[in-house]
Amino acid sequence: MKVAIFSTKPYDREFLTNANSALTQPHELVFHETQLNPQSALLAQGCTAVCCFVNDHLDATALQQLTNLGVKLIALRCAGFNQVDLVAAKNLGIVVARVAEYSPHAVAEHALGLILMLNRNLHRAYHRVRENDYSLNGLLGFDMVNKTVAVIGTGKIGQVFAKIVQGLGCRVIAYDPQPAPILAANGVNYVALSDIWPTADIISLHCPLDKNTHHLINADAISLMKAGVMLINTGRGGLIDTPAVIGGLKSKKIGYLGLDVYEEEGDLFFEDNSNLLLQDDVFARLLTFPNVVITGHQAFFTREALTAIAAITLANITHFEREELSQMCIVN
Ligand code: NAD
């Protein structure tokens, strides 16, 4: 099948090409660096499938364009699918498939990395030592043992994350409309969302972005949190109302903020903008806080995850070509 791959980076090309060459019937992969949007959709001319990533714009207009070109499948090479207008895709008869699971460990371990970095001020210590400054003022951390960590969303990633922090001796509480029995059996205490805010020392977000979770972290929720709470978001940027979080940082209600995702990341992340002026004033404000660490949507970025993403994405395409829809991970 001929597939137009959008938002391609060198590592996408490498892992997808390697996985494709291992297939008995390889696909014809056409790589494009540009994001998919209503204008660039024309690049899918002659392709039956497009392969997209987290910040491609799959709104109704782009989907209509793809339909006009004869595209029948959107193979997402990610787990989240909030970037796709699923209703429009369904109405147009376009199948949307995703990679439901590749490495929950990659994301969960990155969340832990953000926590330890913020707690022990590793981002500041790194620079101090390189400047011949070995003073410890301002680097004071806390023991993780016995702290209460809240996991919001206990699917694949949330479950791995809960296990990791239990290993550090943390007390784990969780909220999920569909609790995981295995976690409950292993000492995780499921509570109402309203009980998370006043109880948690650390809150980590692992739920999908949808209409129920949009701005889950807002001014009201922040007002109920423990003073000095640590907030970690490796889920999706839209889970957080960023101006409200900036307010929480300024009032010191939020003591630490670790982000791998940002609501307006589509204009920033995955690109080298070091020669450009930063135009996003909200993001610029976040960068001024010493107790904020931001990574550019890299939690998924491990060798194991990219290998699995490439293999599963191509398997989805192969199954679609063979009309084996039941073997695909279809989201619409
Ligand atoms: P998953 O589908 O296995 O788990 C999601 C869990 O969230 C489910 O248990 C679901 O019941 C729960 N949930 C749904 N609505 C909820 C709500 N309103 N409140 C609390 N929980 C709710 O997904 P996953 O593989 O664990 O991934 C979780 C999210 O992580 C993805 O949706 C994606 O947005 C994000 N993600 C980020 C990266 C990254 O690189 N930063 C990589 C992969 C996934």
Does residue 300 have its Cβ closer than 6 Å to ligand 1?
yes
Please report, rounded to a whole number, the percentage of residues in the chain having pLDDT higher than 90.
98
Q: Where in the chain is the domain with CATH 3.40.50.720?
A: 2-102+302-327, 104-294
C-alpha 158 – ligand 1 centre gap (Å): 7
Cα gap 299→143, rounded to integer Å = 24
Does residue 192 have its Cβ closer than 6 Å to ligand 1?
no
Does residue 206 have its Cβ closer than 6 Å to ligand 1?
yes
- Calculate the CA 31 to chain-centre distance: 23
Mean pLDDT of 121-133: 98
C-alpha 127 – ligand 1 centre gap (Å): 34
Does residue 77 have its Cβ closer than 6 Å to ligand 1?
no
In 3D space, the residue among 243, 287, 248 whose CA is nearest the CA of residue 263 turns out to be 243
In 3D space, the residue among 181, 229, 226 whose CA is nearest the CA of residue 202 turns out to be 229
What Rg value do the Cα atoms of the chain yield, rounded? Answer: 21
- For the chain, how long is the longest CA-to-CA vector? 64
Q: Please indicate, yes or no, whether the overall pTM of this predicted structure exceeds 0.85.
A: yes
Does residue 213 have its Cβ closer than 6 Å to ligand 1?
yes
Cα gap 223→252, rounded to integer Å = 11
Q: Please state the atom number of ligand 1 nearest to the C-alpha of residue 212.
A: 18
| CA atoms within 13 Å, Cβ hemisphere of 171 | 10
What pLDDT, in 10s, does the model give residues 275-317?
999 999 999 999 999 999 999 999 999 999 999 999 999 999 9
C-alpha 79 – ligand 1 centre gap (Å): 8
> Considering the chain, what is the average pLDDT of its residues?
97
pLDDT over 90 (residue 267):
no
Would you name the residues annotated as active-site residues?
236, 265, 297
Mutate to test the pocket of ligand 1, among 82, 86, 195, 207 (most ligand atoms within 8 A of CB): 207
- Residue that the structure tokens 């995702």 belong to: 261
Does residue 196 have its Cβ closer than 6 Å to ligand 1?
no
Q: Which helix (H) or strand (E) holds 20?
A: helix 10-21
Record the tokens describing residue 234, joined without a space: 């490796």
The contacts of residue 297 (CB under 8 Å, 6+ apart) are 54, 260, 261, 265, 269, 270
Mean pLDDT of 159-174: 98
C-alpha 304 – ligand 1 centre gap (Å): 19
Cα gap 288→105, rounded to integer Å = 30
Does residue 305 have its Cβ closer than 6 Å to ligand 1?
no
Write phi, then psi, for 11 (nearest 5 degrees).
-70, -30
Bridge partners of residue 96, in order along the sequence: 74
CATH code for the domain defined by 2-102+302-327: 3.40.50.720
CA angle centred on 211, ends 265 and 216, rounded to 5°: 70
Does residue 297 have its Cβ closer than 6 Å to ligand 1?
yes
Task: Specify the pLDDT at position 186.
Answer: 97
Mean pLDDT of 103-127: 98
Please answer whether residues 3 and 316 qualify as being in contact, where contact means their C-beta atoms are separated by less than 8 angstroms: no
Mutate to test the pocket of ligand 1, among 53, 82, 176 (most ligand atoms within 8 A of CB): 176
CATH 3.20.20.370 applies to domain 104-294 = no
In this structure, the strands spanning 189-190 and 171-175 are: parallel
Residue whose CA is at the smallest distance from ligand 1 atom 30: 235
The contacts of residue 233 (CB under 8 Å, 6+ apart) are 204, 205, 217, 239, 240, 258, 259, 260, 261
